[in-house]
Amino acid sequence: MTQTIGLTYDLRSDYLAEGYTEEQVAEFDMDDTVDALEAALRSLGYNTDRIGHARALCGRLVAGDRWDLVFNIAEGVNGRCREAQVPALLELYGIPYTCSDPLVCAATLDKAVAKRLVQAAGLHTPRFCVIGSQAELEADSLPLKLPVFAKPIAEGTGKGIDAASRIEDIATLRAACRQLLARYGQPVLIEEYLPGREFTTAIVGTGAAARVIGTMEIRIKDGAPAADYSYVIKEQCDQFVDYLPAPDEPLRADVDRLALAAYRALECRDVGRVDIRCDRDGRPAFIEINPLPGIHPHHSDLPMIAAQQGIGYVELIGAIVGSAFQRAGGNNGR
């Protein structure tokens, strides 16, 4: 009997129609992403059922609908635990799903929590602190070396990051934190600035079976509106970014080892993408991890990395589904 895979996702078009801004929906998927995912799953021999966002999932679950597996790429809307909402609902009803569980999704969206866990595992990440309120801005000193980098603690897609994110003095830092606290309504992560090369590493599998499938170097072009991987640059990456397969050199091996160790330490499942940047000594440092990486076949980093390594989009989706079925104790027969 052919298995049915449900699809959970947040579409930009749905939320724009509800009055959200372009920046607010930046993490959400385009319609053609879901089209591509569904086509890949069908080519693998599965039936598919488009569910939609968490609220739609609630209605379907209450109505009694069930699936052999849910392929989850829903980012959620509100709060630092928003990526955990769909996984938690599926666990409540005992339905297997792709990607990480609620605990991991919540812990990794909060960048400071993820960094503390990575530090506890003995892995390198830049020193950091968290500013949670205006009152915390009054200190005359900072327990970090300048320059520093400031960003919202629980956002993705470069939201809250621009040319002013790299900060050289305390007065400018205070002004930047005030702006970020007011705009995003969440704490600000401040970390010592990493001036070196930047990489992102794709991983598939779970636990001991997890493996690096490739690493890509991110190079911001001359003349870009910021020297770092900001919101504007990510939204206009075709114009401002070169994405290159990481060269086969000792540094690449160090990046891969750090990425895989962080993925396992944070207990991610099935697929993930780890962002790494080198410090002033050229040593790779963990920045953050995405347990729900974008899967647009042409514009998202994960499929781009896979393509650079000769892994097709359908093969990539099949590897994610295969890992999820294996974890669920079932089979992925069609």
Other C-beta atoms lying within 10 Å of the C-beta of residue 121: 14
Report whether CATH 3.30.1490.20 matches the domain 127-192: yes
DSSP single-letter state for residue 97: B
CB 233 within 8 A of CB 225: yes
DSSP single-letter state for residue 221: P
The architecture of the domain spanning 195-327 is: 2-Layer Sandwich (3.30)
Q: How far apart are CA 129 and CA 150, in angstroms?
A: 10
Q: How far apart are CA 317 and CA 40, in angstroms?
A: 7
Q: With DSSP H G I counted as helix, E B as strand and the rest as coil, what are the percentages for the chain, rounded to 5?
A: 40, 20, 40
Q: Which fold has domain 4-99?
A: Rossmann fold (3.40.50)
**Of 150, 156, 153, 155, whose CA–CA distance to 112 is shortest?**
153
Nearby residues of 139 by Cβ (< 8 Å), 6 or more positions away: none
pLDDT string in tens for the chain (334-residue length): 899 999 999 999 999 999 999 989 999 999 999 999 999 999 999 999 999 999 999 999 999 999 999 999 999 998 999 999 999 999 999 999 999 999 999 999 999 999 999 999 999 999 999 999 988 877 667 889 999 999 999 998 889 998 899 999 999 999 999 999 999 999 999 999 999 999 999 999 999 999 999 999 999 999 888 888 888 888 888 899 999 999 999 999 999 999 999 999 999 999 999 999 999 999 999 999 999 999 999 999 999 999 999 999 999 999 999 999 999 885 554 3
Nearby residues of 56 by Cβ (< 8 Å), 6 or more positions away: none
Hey, where are the domains in the chain? 4-99, 127-192, 195-327
CB 38 within 8 A of CB 103: no
Helices (H), 110-242: 111-120, 170-184, 231-235, 237-240
- Helix, strand or coil for residue 326? helix
